Amino acid sequence: MHSYHLTYDVDLPGGVEMRFNVDAIAPKLFAGLPPEVRTALGDERCKLHCTRVHSMLWRYVPDLLRRPLTIEGNVFAAELLAWPRPRTLCAFQLERDVMGPIRSVISGSAYGVAFERLVEILQALVIINHRGELLAQYQTDLDEQRRRLQPPSQ
């Protein structure tokens, strides 16, 4: 998929600075430009280019959630990045110090699951370590599901 944004504009004196100051993303883009680019083009031209990409780039800036998430009474430090458009794409990592150098880490990604729903799903996870009876039940359920999905014998 290609996206184009073409404009014809005549910049009035102070117009670039005014657009730059009301743009939520352009200052972040501008701050990330290497010094040699700013020197070569000048600050005003760089600000102009940064404001021009705003209408396209806003779709690609992720939301960041950094907060504790509790799973079965265990608190994990969670980092989730979500790109909400057109279908939500999320990447996540949850970490918890267990004992000394031992850490629990849950990481992954999700596509098409709303950010808020992913947080709910993660908090509803069931820890199965050292729970033989639960593992046996899950295995039984999985085996039954596989039997139902197999085509009938001839």
More confident residue, 4 or 69: 69
Residue with tokens 């690609």: 60
* Phi, psi values for residue 82, rounded to 5°: -135, 125
**For residue range 33-43, what is the model confidence (pLDDT) as tens digits?**
889 988 998 98
What share of the chain in percent tops pLDDT 70?
A: 86
Quote the mean pLDDT of the chain. Answer: 82
Mean pLDDT, residues 22-49 taken together: 86
Name the one residue in this structure whose structure tokens are 């199965």.
128
Most confident range (mean pLDDT) of 52-56, 68-72, 83-87, 124-128 is 68-72
**Cβ–Cβ contacts within 10 Å for residue 82, how many?**
20
What single letter denotes the amino acid at residue 116?
E
